């Protein structure tokens, strides 16, 4: 048991290490050659400003709503825990401290108890009336947490709606992703999609404006035409100008072919006009992507030799064509690469044509655009066809957020994949220790000696022996934990999510479950997950909270240390960015051949929602669990949240590059996890109380989880739809406003190329990039250390189509 | 332990009682004076046909899809259990019977075992390899059940879609129920609804056709107008013909008032044209309803005296006006009642006016109609406003299905009510025995003697004593069980459901949970629910299935008896309709004054989904649980399903009156409950196996519940939306078809009066009914015993607006 002094020493050490990190950061960041590590965002955005002085709206402009709301999680931590800490210290600490239980226990049975335990609930004697205080406090803490959660949910929901409605025109506002287009023997996916939406969303589907009504009426006509015995009826009403009889349809100049609707409403007429409807089918472009990659590498080499030649124009670089340039004919490298690039370009063009034309490479999915946001909102929220597994519609993610590989998974396969992943994740979480333990056994001295006896003399050397003993067993676990987020991400990808943001959200959920089971419960109950599971199965439902409740106060010291090591020092390590720093300089020395390589060596990273958020949630869990039990833990949590807030604010403003903008779609998850933590804390307290023989007071705690879960459902009903649906009122408002502002805007060309698989624009962009980077290089030669020089980089177009703040705004606040 | 002979005797007795019931039914039903008990449906529908010879499509026409699909539940029972029974008898019974475990046990320890046990799993020795058979069979049964479930889900979903699309024009196809209209200080609910939908569903909201576009453009204009600094922009584009500037709006003849949109888009212009948009606001008409009821009773009395006077024209009936006619002035009763009726009519008219005009009596809900089914489908499936608790839209239930009292509950209140009901239901289910036990204690001899010592001499009489001892304690429980469905229905009403069908569905779910806990587990574990709960809390998660698994085979005999008494005899009792028979004749003798009273004395009843379906589900549960354990139970289940199918088919065709048509919306519940039963049966088998020390084979069962739950999720994803949503493709198809069939149909008057609170049309209908029934009376005097004479009753209009089958169709199949 650690005493207060121990904790203080540990805190001092950790604070010191944090300070050292910060100091190192302070020194390293002012070195210009580290700029690309510590201020990559300014290179990407082409502007500069100071951290920590940005008001929230500007932060949203600068780094996106996702990042701004992500910071609010830390703020929420402070909002929850600062008042709770004050209350706990003012009420619970005196109540706990003014008992003699531990002192007596020490005297009687020689039990060692630290000062920390004297401040905790362990110091209150059995059957004491003082437990009422803890129960009242539990209610107060729950009430306060829920209040903050509700306010934050409200605030974030309104921020999201505000953000969505304040945004400029964006392709995803008009676009719906359609999946599981049913196969059809007669029509291509493209035609099928076109006809389906012409028929079922006639007023809203975006087509050429001229001939629109005409197309419609034809579709109606044909649909009725094929309605069995209704043919006469259609002929009867041909006198209304909207309906044309068979003859005039067949001879009309704009009709290229004419077919009866033999298999339902999804089809109609194939018309010249109708063909230009705005939707993009999704192609399977894996081969194309590999060709593009190859071309890029060749280009890079050519640039390198070109640069070499430019510096030393006397000697044209030569190279053998064989393996690794070791044999074969000697050729002029620059010419050789140029010709190869040309060859590849042709191949790519061919492949591109093939992909676009070959019906087999077209996946049964499409991005369908509508004339109005209202039309898109309607289509995204409704069911299209009888069969709910066909013609699935949902909001299209941002173009850069689309995860292209998953767009064509059929429904049945999706649900099988989900089952597989659920089972796999269960085993991963519960039994992950088993393979690691066996690897550890192999990696031990005995294991190695048994398997590879010839290594025995080497191993027996004392230094190597100690390395193996101290290092190898640990490294297996460490490696697993490092790769865990990647494993979880692969799981989510396999499960078939359609956007990077949803992949990350799902991975975050899984990571959180893993942390709760293996870190929180694992530390409290000190046993691997499958051992816990085994003992839980054998224990009664009554006993489980008791087991946890009893163990919680005993582990307070451990978790305080954990917060300091993982939280404080970890955050300080984050700001130092040691790994990107080293990697960047290594790359710079060995790999960087051209300016473009340098751009690529720069690794701004991103927020990493899938790992970062679950870790924060662990602190929420610790704070809530220990608030009533060992309030001394709370200040450590508060310091963590405050410190992390400052650091991540800096990182978001100066370092991280936003990969996508989901509009804070992750908030319901964040909210749900804090609620989970709250319920766990209540159950643990309930268990603890029932072992304290506080039979009178304990039952009053049963209502807490019920009320908390009800509160959660209430919040979800009240606010979740803001993160899932898009109200028609908003859509209509924006449409109306836009029509008034810009009545002649032609949406069609605007949306035409929005959702194209990256490889289809890759090639051209590449060339541009090349040109750009060359152009920029000369710039940077002139003023190499001034980041402001990047102001004229047209780079923003590479990062996002979202509105970046206008220069004047940023400059205004730039230098205070 | 009952032997096979005992069971056979019991079966014979129960079959005999069922036969007696059927015989009584056969005799009673041919008595013409019982026609109104056994064939009320023919009176209501005005036609006659023979039972059991109707093919399904005709049955749907005759009794509605709900009834037809309800019958499919019994059929599904047969489809599941007939093959399972064959397989079980062919495989499991021999495997169980060819062991000597019980014989040896009998010899060794004098344990009594019946023949039934010899056929059950109890006869297989511990650690036997034969348990593999049971496990394979469990997989086979699960597979077969799931297969039947999937096929049925598919079939019912397609029947529902078929039904919805084959139906004629119905008001609810075009109508959406809007709740939680936000309060507004300036506008009435009606105006607010009108403006909101004009703005947000401009092309689809049903308004007068003329002036429609004009109204739209004005609304657009005003909406833009109030958009802060955008006013100039609007003035700039006034040259396009759709937009008018302020001046021309203000002076336009059709504009009656003009107001800026100061609080959002929900408001626009108050225009003469726009006012006629088709939506009905919901009024609070409780006082009105009571007045109408009073008037009806007065009318009834007047009719009675009129009849009396007609029979004896010499003496005009006189009556004193005071209390019960005991004192006061003597008046001519007929005149007196006539004048009172007139007075009431005036009052009703006044109240009706008041309700319609008084803004306080208008509830914040409305039925909004659209021009097309497409428009209604879109509105019902989308979120309208930013705040997801305002402007809630959902499909309007059928007019006769609406539960008017609940239309105006605000969101917050709804979610509090839900919490209250969840808690209340928990206590009701778990602790219902406690108050009953205390009532029973009071009602016992000792209780009565203690409370009321003066009754002692009376109680001590032997006959009365035995009545009290044998009767009173039981009656408390019986009364509770009789009132349970009503209590559950009240709970559902309090919870705030909007249609009678959803009220019944929710009550059914609760009743099912109650039956599982208190009948199934209650019988197996022989303890009140709270005792079970207590022991479950104290048992480990591992032990619970074991406890259940061990008890299951022991209770086989009990459940066989239960099936025979509750199932067989109960069903036979259902067809006899003893209660309605007695009540009808009692009413006929004492209460019936007029022909109208006779109509009302007739009580056809209805299907009673909220009690009937959960009871069927109990048989599914028993069948699935015992299929692997004691297969001898299966034939009893099969007989129940077959018998019940025949009886309920008869009842649905000849007796029950359809109260609403939900289009089989209950099927997902039915499906879910069979899945629940399946999972319970698997867990029980798993528990049983693990006590049989079949350690090798038992773990293979763990995958079964996982797969079953996955199957359930798959089915819900695949088919549930057919019961919740309405695909746009269908809607568009019907709209298009209708436009072709009937291009000039004016929807507006058709929908105008569809959703009016019953009391608002009540008064007038009453008068008509009176006239009709008088007219009919003379008819029935001529041919009093011929039911065919009712063919010309215009009664169908009273029952439903749904399409009743054309006479020719029914007559065609009527007399084979």
Rounded CA gap, A198 and B780, in Å? 59
**Segment A637-683, tens digit of pLDDT:** 998 999 899 888 888 887 787 778 888 889 999 999 999 999 999 99
A197: left (phi over 0), alpha (psi -120 to 50) or beta: alpha
What does pLDDT average to in each consecutive run of 10 residues of chain B (816 residues)? 68 79 76 69 61 73 86 93 92 82 68 68 78 89 94 90 76 78 74 74 52 28 30 27 33 31 29 37 68 78 75 71 65 79 82 70 75 79 79 80 79 88 89 73 70 74 71 72 88 88 91 88 70 70 78 83 80 75 74 68 74 90 91 90 88 80 89 94 88 72 90 89 80 76 71 68 45 37 34 36 35 35
- Please tell me the distance from the alpha carbon of residue A492 to that of residue A506, in angstroms, as a whole number: 6
Q: Please answer yes or no on whether B224 and A200 come within 8 Å at the CB atom.
A: no
Q: Is the pLDDT of residue A227 over 60?
A: no
- More confident call, A625 vs B362: A625
* Chain A residues near residue B384 by CB distance under 8 angstroms: 727-729
Please give the sequence-ordered ranges of beta strands (E in DSSP) within A212-356, or none if there are none: 255-257, 270-271, 279-283, 318-320, 330-332
A49-53, A731-735, B125-129: which range is least confident on average? Answer: A49-53
Structure tokens at B649: 């088919």
Query: A266 to chain B: which residues are within 8 Å by CB?
Result: 729
Residue pair A278/A193 in contact (Cβ under 8 Å)? The answer is no
Residue B626 in tokens: 């015992």
Q: Specify which residues A331 forms β-bridges with.
A: A319
Under a CB-based contact definition with an 8 Å cutoff, are residues A232 and B741 in contact?
no
Residues of B in contact with A377 (CB under 8 A): 382
- Residue A737 to residue B542, Cβ atoms within 8 A: no
Q: How far is B722 from chain A (nearest CA, A)?
A: 7
**91-130 in B: which are within 8 Å (CB) of A?**
none
| Beta-bridge mates of residue A176 | A368, A395
Which of A540, A706, A736 lies closest to B540 in CB terms? Answer: A540
Closest CA relative to residue A340, chosen from A304, A301, A378: A301
Which pLDDT does position B809 carry in this prediction?
A: 37
Contact B383 A721 (CB under 8 A): yes
pLDDT above 50 for A795: no
Mean pLDDT of A795-809: 36
How far B417 CA sits from the closest chain A CA (Å)?
A: 11
> Residue B283's beta-bridge partner residues?
B362
Residues of chain A positioned with their CB less than 8 A from the CB of B725: 382-383, 388
What is the rounded distance in angstroms from the CA atom of residue B596 to the CA atom of residue B590? 14
Residue A239 contacts residue A233 (beta carbons within 8 Å): no
Determine contact: B199 vs chain A, CB below 8 A. Answer: yes
Which among B237, B717, B729 is the nearest to A415, CB-wise? B717
Provide, as residue numbers in chain B, all residues whose Cβ is less than 8 Å from the Cβ of A418: 710
pLDDT of residue B394: 81
Three-class secondary structure of residue B386 per DSSP: coil
User: How would you class A452 by CB atoms within 10 Å of its CB: exposed for 0-12, middle for 13-18, buried for 19 or more?
Assistant: exposed
Buried b / exposed e across A124-141, counting CB within 10 Å, b at 16+?
beeebebbebbbebbbbb
The more confident residue out of A159 and B165 is A159
Whether A233 contacts chain B with CB within 8 A: yes
Residues 706-725 (A) with a CB less than 8 A from some CB of B = 706-707, 710, 713-714, 717-722, 725
- Confidence grade of residue A153 (pLDDT, cut at 50, 70, 90): very high
With a cut of 70, say whether residue A203 has pLDDT above it.
no
Q: Cα–Cα distance between B699 and A773 in angstroms, integer?
A: 63
Task: Check pLDDT > 50 for residue A602.
Answer: yes
Q: Which of B539, B729, B740 sits opposite A200 (nearest CB)?
A: B729
pLDDT at position B421: 92
Question: Hey, what are B147's tokens?
Answer: 């297969």
CB contact under 8 A, A727 and B383: yes
Q: Is A471 on the interface with B (CB under 8 A)?
A: no
Tell which of B721, B740, B744 to mutate to test the A interface (max A CBs under 10 Å).
Answer: B740
Q: What's the gap in Å between the CA of B362 and the closest CA on chain A?
A: 24
Give which of B196, B222, B378 to mutate to test A binding, by max A Cβ within 10 Å: B378
DSSP string for B696-733? TTGGGGTHHHHHHHHHHHHHIIIIIHHHH---HHHHHH
Task: Tell whether the model's pLDDT for residue A292 goes beyond 50.
Answer: yes
DSSP for B589-606, written as a single string:
HHT--SHHHHHHH-----
- Give me the pLDDT at residue B532, please: 67
Q: Which ranges of A515-608 would DSSP assign to H, the alpha helix?
A: 522-525, 529-538, 543-554, 556-562, 570-576, 578-590, 595-601
CA angle A468/A474/A475 to nearest 5° reads 85
- Identify the pLDDT of residue A431: 80
Q: Does the beta carbon of B370 lie under 8 angstroms from any beta carbon of chain A? A: no
Chain B, 507-546: which have a CB under 8 Å from a chain A CB?
536-543
B425 close contact with A: CB closer than 8 A: no
Which residues in A lie closer than 8 A to residue B721 (C-beta atoms)? 383, 388
Cβ neighbour number for residue A485 with a 10 Å cutoff: 20
The three-class DSSP label of residue A52 is: coil
**d(C-alpha B445, C-alpha B469), whole Å:** 7
Report the residue from B386, B541, B707 with minimal CB separation from A541: B541
Instruction: List, in order, residues 6 or more apart from A661 with CB less than 8 Å away.
Output: A64, A65, A66, A398, A401, A800, A802
CB contact under 8 A, A730 and B386: yes
Between A691 and A533, the higher pLDDT residue: A691
Q: Is the pLDDT of residue A525 over 60?
A: yes
Closest CA to B651 of B704, B608, B610, B703: B608
Count the residues in chain B: 816
Q: Which of A178, A204, A376, A388 to mutate to test the interface with B (most CBs of B within 10 A)?
A: A388
Instruction: Give contacts of A 10-69 with B, CB under 8 A.
Output: none
Q: Would the pLDDT of A70 be above 80? A: yes
Mapped to the 3 state alphabet, what secondary structure does B5-38 carry?
A: HHHHHHHHHHHHHHHHHHHHHHHHHCCHHHHHHH
Contacts of A698 in chain B (CB under 8 A): none
pLDDT category of residue A271 using cuts at 50, 70 and 90: very low
Report chain B residues whose CB lies below 8 A from the CB of A710: 415, 418-419
Minimal C-alpha gap between B486 and chain A (Å): 26
Percent of chain A whose predicted confidence (pLDDT) is above 90: 12
Q: Based on the number of CB atoms within 10 Å of its own CB, is A272 exposed (0-12), middle (13-18) or buried (19 or more)?
A: middle
Q: Using the 8-state DSSP alphabet, how is residue B255 labeled?
A: B
Task: Give the N- to C-terminal CA distance of chain A in Å, as an integer.
Answer: 50
């Amino acid at each position: 048991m650690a005493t207060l002094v121990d904790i203080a020493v540990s805190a001092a050490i950790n604070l010191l290490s944090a300070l050292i990190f910060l100091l190192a950061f302070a020194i390293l960041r002012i070195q210009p050659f580290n700029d690309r590590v510590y201020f990559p965002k300014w290179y990407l955005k082409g502007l500069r400003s100071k951290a920590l002085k940005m008001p929230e709206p500007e932060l949203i402009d600068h780094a996106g709503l996702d990042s701004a709301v992500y910071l609010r999680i830390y703020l929420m931590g402070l909002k929850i825990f600062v008042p709770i800490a004050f209350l706990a210290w003012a009420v619970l600490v005196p109540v706990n401290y003014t008992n003699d239980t531990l002192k007596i226990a020490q005297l009687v049975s020689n039990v060692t108890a630290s000062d920390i335990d004297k401040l905790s609930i362990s110091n209150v004697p059995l059957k004491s009336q003082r437990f009422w205080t803890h129960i009242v406090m539990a209610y107060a803490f729950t009430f306060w947490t829920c209040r903050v959660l509700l306010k934050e949910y409200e605030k974030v929901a309104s921020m999201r709606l505000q953000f969505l409605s304040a945004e400029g025109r964006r392709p995803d506002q008009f676009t719906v992703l359609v999946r599981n287009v049913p196969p059809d023997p007669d029509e291509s996916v493209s035609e099928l999609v076109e006809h389906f939406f012409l028929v079922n969303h006639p007023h809203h589907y975006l087509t050429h404006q001229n001939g629109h009504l005409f197309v419609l009426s034809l579709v109606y006509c044909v649909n009725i035409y094929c309605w069995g015995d209704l043919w006469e009826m259609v002929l009867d009403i041909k006198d209304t100008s909207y309906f044309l009889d068979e003859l005039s349809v067949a001879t009309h100049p704009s009709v290229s072919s004419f077919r009866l609707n033999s298999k339902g409403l999804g089809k109609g007429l194939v018309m010249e006009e109708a063909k230009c409807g705005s939707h993009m089918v999704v192609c399977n472009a894996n081969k194309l992507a590999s060709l593009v990659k190859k071309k890029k590498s060749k280009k890079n080499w050519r640039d390198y030799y070109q640069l070499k030649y430019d510096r030393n124009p006397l000697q044209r670089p030569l190279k053998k064509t064989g393996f690794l340039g070791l044999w074969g004919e000697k050729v002029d490298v620059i010419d050789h690469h140029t010709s190869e690039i040309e060859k590849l370009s042709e191949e790519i063009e061919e492949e591109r044509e093939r992909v676009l034309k070959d019906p087999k490479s077209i996946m049964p999915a499409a991005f369908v655009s509508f004339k109005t946001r209202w039309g898109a909102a309607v289509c995204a929220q409704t069911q299209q066809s009888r069969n709910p597994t066909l013609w699935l519609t949902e909001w299209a993610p941002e173009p850069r957020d689309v995860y292209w590989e998953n767009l064509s998974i059929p429904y049945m396969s999706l649900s099988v994949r989900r089952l597989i992943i659920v089972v796999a994740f269960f085993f991963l979480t519960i039994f992950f220790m088993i393979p690691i333990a066996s690897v550890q056994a192999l990696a031990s001295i005995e294991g190695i000696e048994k398997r590879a006896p010839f290594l025995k003399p080497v191993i027996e050397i004392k230094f190597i022996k100690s390395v193996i003993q101290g290092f190898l067993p640990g490294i297996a676990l460490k490696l697993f934990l490092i790769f865990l987020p990647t494993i979880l991400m692969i799981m989510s990808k396999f499960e078939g999510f359609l956007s990077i943001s949803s992949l990350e959200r799902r991975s975050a959920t899984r990571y959180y479950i893993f942390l709760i089971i293996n870190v929180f419960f694992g530390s409290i109950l000190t046993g691997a997950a499958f051992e816990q599971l085994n003992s839980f199965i054998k224990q009664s439902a009554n006993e489980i909270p008791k087991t946890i409740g009893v163990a919680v106060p005993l582990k307070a010291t451990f978790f305080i240390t954990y917060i300091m090591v993982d939280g404080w020092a970890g955050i300080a390590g984050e700001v130092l960015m040691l790994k990107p720093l080293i990697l960047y300089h290594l790359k710079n020395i060995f790999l960087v051949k051209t300016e473009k390589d340098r751009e690529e060596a720069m690794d701004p990273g991103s927020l990493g929602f899938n790992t970062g958020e679950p870790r924060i949630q662990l602190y929420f869990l610790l704070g809530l669990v220990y608030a009533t039990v060992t309030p001394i833990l709370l200040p450590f949590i508060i310091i963590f949240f405050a410190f992390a807030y400052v650091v991540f604010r800096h990182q978001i403003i100066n370092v991280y590059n936003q990969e996508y903008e989901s509009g804070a779609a992750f908030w319901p998850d964040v909210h749900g996890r804090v609620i989970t933590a709250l319920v766990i804390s209540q159950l643990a307290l309930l268990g603890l109380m029932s072992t304290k023989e506080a039979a009178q007071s304990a039952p009053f705690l049963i209502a807490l989880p019920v009320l908390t879960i009800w509160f959660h459902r209430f919040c979800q009903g009240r606010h979740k739809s803001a993160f899932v649906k898009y109200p028609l009122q908003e859509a209509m408002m924006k449409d109306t406003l836009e029509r008034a502002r810009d009545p002649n805007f032609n949406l069609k060309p605007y949306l035409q190329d929005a959702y194209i698989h990256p490889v289809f624009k890759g090639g051209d962009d590449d060339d541009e990039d090349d040109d750009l980077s060359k152009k920029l290089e000369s710039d940077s030669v002139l003023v190499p250390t001034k980041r402001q020089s990047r102001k004229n980089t047209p780079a923003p177009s590479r990062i996002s189509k979202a509105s970046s703040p206008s220069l004047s705004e940023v400059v205004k606040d730039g230098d205070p």
